[in-house]
């Protein structure tokens, strides 16, 4: 009996670490992709005068009010193996997104996008047009002005977007459960593992993962606030 209990405990610990490692991988990959996509998108939203800007901004912000299960359901419909897009990806690229880690990345990028784009957009808008005009008078190209003027001045927003995007992805539940299911080692992230432990009345494991997420989120936000305050002081 003792050996059986020890074996069960080891298995639970192994599943916990698997879920933690998978969640960290997902949050890291998602955040990197969001920074690569979201930074130019935030720049366009902050600088463009196009009418379609507000339409795009609304689409980006939609996950803020849309229930995660609704977003996850439609992602599953669009990316599922029987959908036109799913069949094209499968036949042409041998890529399956439903119930895979890659599908989790796609869902996480869409669901966490407003948490990255909005802070960066606010930072770009706070810069104003004056620094860019000065850079232009010094014969800097638009691309040079973006990388050497806009990005350094927008560091607080970039930091805020990075931390929020990472932390938000780490705590996702509804979207990842719908698009990824509950496959140990493949799509079973921390939030899904907590749900499983509560459902199985494994309170100790649920407490450990929940407390870890709570502490991590607190440290992330505290660190972000301290660094943002420090960078603002340095820019004055």
Q: What confidence score (pLDDT) does residue 7 get? A: 45
What pLDDT was estimated at residue 187? Answer: 87
pLDDT digits (tens, 9 = 90+) for 203-221: 888 898 899 888 988 888 8
Residue 154 pLDDT exceeds 60? yes
Provide the pLDDT for residue 86. 80
What pLDDT does 10 receive? Answer: 58
Long-range contacts of the stretch 138-147 (C-beta < 8 A, 24+): 146/43
pLDDT in tens, 77-132: 888 888 888 888 888 888 888 888 999 999 999 999 999 999 999 999 988 888 88
Neighbouring CB atoms inside 10 A of 80's CB total 17
Domain boundaries in the chain? 2-235
pLDDT of residue 235: 60
Phi-psi region of 208 (alpha: psi -120 to 50; beta: other; left: phi over 0): alpha
> Quick one: pLDDT at residue 2?
43
* Torsion over CA: 114, 112, 220, 41 (sign): negative
Q: What is the pLDDT of residue 203?
A: 87
pLDDT digits (tens, 9 = 90+) for 4-54: 554 455 556 778 888 889 999 999 999 999 999 999 999 999 998 888 898
CB 187 within 8 A of CB 181: yes
pLDDT confidence of residue 33: 97
User: How far is residue 185 from each of residues 17, 47, 78, measured CA to CA in Å?
Assistant: 10, 43, 24
Q: Is pLDDT above 90 for 225?
A: no
CATH of region 2-235, choose from 2.40.30.10, 3.30.830.10, 1.10.3720.10, 3.20.20.70: 1.10.3720.10
Check: CB of residue 220 under 8 Å from CB of residue 166. yes
The closest of 79, 75, 100, 63 to 188, measured between CA atoms, is 100
The confidence band for 197, taking pLDDT boundaries of 50, 70 and 90, is confident
The span from the CA of 161 to the CA of 184, in Å, is 29
**Within a 10 A sphere around the Cβ of 165, how many other Cβ atoms?**
28
């Amino acid at each position: 009996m003792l050996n059986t209990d020890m074996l069960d405990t080891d298995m639970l610990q192994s599943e916990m670490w698997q879920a933690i490692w998978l969640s960290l991988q997902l949050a890291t990959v998602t955040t990197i992709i969001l920074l690569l996509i979201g930074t130019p998108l935030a720049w366009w939203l902050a600088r463009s005068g196009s009418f379609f800007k507000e339409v795009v901004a609304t689409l980006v912000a939609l996950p803020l009010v849309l229930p995660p299960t609704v977003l996850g359901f439609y992602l599953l419909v669009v990316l599922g193996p029987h959908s036109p897009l799913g069949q094209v990806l499968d036949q042409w690229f041998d890529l399956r997104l439903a119930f895979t880690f890659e599908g989790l990345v796609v869902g996480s990028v869409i669901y966490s996008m407003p948490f990255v784009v909005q802070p960066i957009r606010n930072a770009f808008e706070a810069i104003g047009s004056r620094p860019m005009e000065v850079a232009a008078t010094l014969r800097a190209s638009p691309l040079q002005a973006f990388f050497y003027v806009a990005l350094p001045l927008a560091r607080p927003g970039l930091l805020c977007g990075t931390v929020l995007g990472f932390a938000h992805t780490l705590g996702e539940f509804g979207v990842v459960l719908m698009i990824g299911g509950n496959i140990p080692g493949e799509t079973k992230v921390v939030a899904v593992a907590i749900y499983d432990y509560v459902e199985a009345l494994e309170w100790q494991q649920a407490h450990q993962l929940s407390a870890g997420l709570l502490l991590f989120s607190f440290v992330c936000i505290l660190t972000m606030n301290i660094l943002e305050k420090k960078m603002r002081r340095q820019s004055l």
